[in-house]
Structure 1
Amino acid sequence: MISLKKKILFIVTKSEPGGAQKFVYEQILISKNNFDCFLCTDTEGWLFQAASAHLAGSVLNERIKEVSFSFFFTLCKFIRKYDIDLVVCNSAYAGIYGRLAAVLTGRKSIFVSHGWSSVYQGRGLSGIFNLIENGLSTIGSAILCISNNDYHTALKKIGISKNRLHVIQNKTFSQLSVLKPEFSPDKPLKILTVARLDYPKRVDLALAAFGNYSDVHVYIVGGGSQETALKDQVKNDEILNFTFLGSIENFSSFQDYDLFLLLSDSEGLPMSAIEAMSCGLPLLLSDVGGCEELIANNGVLVKNNIEAIREGLSYCLDNREQFSTASLNLFNERFNLSLHREEYINYYNSVMKKN
């Protein structure tokens, strides 16, 4: 039977667990009843395995992570073969390939910002990367900013035209499966970090601030290039209150912890922090990127120095019950994907209808 639905291709460079991958997976879940969904990524990793049952088709190619003309033409061929209507691009390489392939095949495209790596991770080459991003914005149909901070960065630092930009703050499904147990003052505070252990994340700062800190135990969920060095530091410094749990697919046990910690040199609007909010956890976040949009009397923003981080923890402890209630309320008001899914569906339809 020929489907009469519009067709959306979601493209992301890597299939491993991460914020952009979580975003793509949940977009497929909320879109599958309205559109035929397709996926382009590197391998049969976490994202592909999680999403495969909901896909009308896919293309897997590890050359998406490098400059490859053969992959580019493979992507164009796939778009034509399945008559894709909209290409939704996530991450740097995917953003380049997806927008160029869309314009070459005469399709609409959306680039999802996820924190503007051209600004925050370009380092000495940021100016060049921003010029490239500005040029790509002129050939793509639209840019979806996942935070108000990303929107203002696009306008002021990259110089992207306002009429190309749209903001929908990151949203996710609730992770609350059971009621969160009350905090016990007789047990160490259980602090949770869920993050890929790569730049720009700063688990090293957490170690410096809370290593062997009294009445605190920090649990780290995630893997990455820094994992071995961080574990070696814990072993060499005889730090007893840090536990590395490794990469856990579909981690959802936020309610088993007392506070969520995310220290980083740059962020878009971190999905893991939003998931923690859905379980009523107070937030202790670096004051970078869009993190301030997640704080409304439910946690603390801190500078990336040991004194500020420790003071932030103390303030969270003094207000933990109030912060816990506020986190859950704020999540349902602004970040619950189950309640706000139509924002994305309507946006995709509006872009496909553009002349």
Structure 2
Amino acid sequence: MKIIQFITHMNERGGAQNHVLELSKAMHQEGHEVIVMSSGNSEIVTQLEKEGIQYVPISSLITPINIIKDISSLYKIRKKIRVLAPDLVAIHSSKAGILGRIAAYSLNIPTVFTAHSWSFSPFNNFFKRKLFLFLEKYIAKITNGIITVSYNDYLIGLKHNIINKKATRVIHNGIEDVRFCRNDDVRDTLHLIMVSRFAHPKDHHLLLTALKNIEIDNWELTLVGDGPNLNVIKDYAKQLDLDKKIIFTGEKNNVIPYLEKSDVLLLISKSEGLPISIIEGMRAKLPIIASDVGGIKELIENKKQGLLVNNNVEEISNALKMLLNDNKLLKKYGDSSYEKYLEHFTFDKMYKKTINFYTHVLNKK
């Protein structure tokens, strides 16, 4: 199979970017011809090139709506796809999802769109919600297959008449299993970790407020990631007098060493698809405290692999206090996390389902 994996940008390492990287590597190793098309030039692009995977940059492609640049990008995307002549274009993220499907459809090349989350999020303003909902409905009519990474997003797609049941699959994210060198000795100070960009919809501000509220001192927090709100959160940590208990690492290509030293993984967020950071925590045998939004409940059952919380200070504070004071509960939730990861969220399971769906779409076309 000759396939283009197309995503809006590779400016930083996020869940969708990691997904494209690992999927492309596996397909390449299996003998498929894979080309990745995107904007940006982060270390992910370097990894792709080291693997021998062709990277095609579209420099005019940006995330915000810009009519002039979007039309220019559409022309360039169509030209690149026509020259490359793939069997299939697999598309990820909203802007690429719209422009890529229009370009491929005009060339009679089949497409599969993976919705890592829907673009018409309730947290966008009214104009953007209506515009993206209209576009998703229209573009879905020229799409050969759609993958949602959670049942939650599948149901949202059905509700808004975007998806066709026969042409849609729910395929949960999956990641490779790796060995962890963990020290399971009981520790006086428990190490909390959150791995995410400092940008909407992640809510580091709420997490820090909840930590200030618990009035328990036996914790240390590591925040892995970069983003536009990083300095704002650093200033807020100082304002709360928590800065000496928080480690800001910046963006890291490999989070495994940080997960090995951690006791609880956190994800406080206003909106999610199916976050890979939680799957990474489950793989590391960590109990999870996470906001009950999007597809997170498909990963974490409350009081089995961790605690699901509503986004308010009281619930997050109570969850933190419960785990910070109960080592047996930490181990119980951590073991259950790993068991569920092995059963449902390994890379092999995700990869086989994805390749089978690509093949199904091609055969149907």
Whether TM exceeds 0.5 here: the answer is yes
Cα pair 1:122 1:129 within 8 Å, conserved: no
Name the residue aligned to 2:305: 298
Report the CA distance shift for 1:278/1:308 in structure 2 as closer, same or farther (over 3 A): same
Cα pair 2:6 2:38 within 8 Å, conserved: yes
Name the residue aligned to 2:207: 206
Partner deviation per Cα, 1:54-79 (whole Å, 9 max, x = no partner): 35422112311153333222221221
Name the residue aligned to 2:96: 94
Q: Which runs of 4+ in 1 moved over 6 A?
A: none
Name the residue aligned to 1:347: 357
Report the CA distance shift for 1:238/1:314 in structure 2 as closer, same or farther (over 3 A): closer
Per the TM alignment, residue 300 of structure 1 is displaced from its structure 2 partner at its CA by 0.9
Report the CA distance shift for 1:121/1:353 in structure 2 as closer, same or farther (over 3 A): farther
Per the TM alignment, residue 183 of structure 1 is displaced from its structure 2 partner at its CA by 4.6
Partner deviation per Cα, 1:155-213 (whole Å, 9 max, x = no partner): 11354332332110111112x43332115232x11011000110110000111011374
**CA separation in 1, counterparts of 2:172 and 2:53?**
27
> Does the alignment pair 1:45 with 2:42?
yes
Corresponding residue to 2:8 among 13, 30, 42:
13
Report the CA distance shift for 1:229/1:26 in structure 2 as closer, same or farther (over 3 A): same
Per the TM alignment, residue 236 of structure 1 is displaced from its structure 2 partner at its CA by 3.1
Corresponding residue to 1:243 among 232, 247, 269:
247
**CA separation in 1, counterparts of 2:153 and 2:74?**
28
Query: What's the Cα RMSD here?
Result: 1.7
Corresponding residue to 1:62 among 59, 64, 67:
59
Structure 1 unaligned blocks of 5 or more:
1-5
Per the TM alignment, residue 128 of structure 1 is displaced from its structure 2 partner at its CA by 3.0
Once the two structures are aligned, what percentage of the paired residues are identical? 30
Name the residue aligned to 1:149: 152
Name the residue aligned to 1:312: 319
Stretch deviating more after TM superposition (89-98 or 285-294): 89-98
Structure 2 unaligned blocks of 5 or more:
none
State the one-letter code of the partner of 1:90.
H
Cα pair 1:28 1:54 within 8 Å, conserved: no
TM-score (norm 1): 0.93
TM-score (norm 2): 0.91
Give 1:229-240 correspondences, 5 Å limit: 229-239=232-242, 240=244
State the one-letter code of the partner of 1:299.
G
Name the residue aligned to 1:139: 142
State the one-letter code of the partner of 1:7.
K
Give 1:254-269 correspondences, 5 Å limit: 254-269=259-274
Name the residue aligned to 2:22: 26
State the one-letter code of the partner of 1:97.
L
**CA separation in 1, counterparts of 2:120 and 2:51?**
32
Indicate the SS of the match to 2:236.
helix
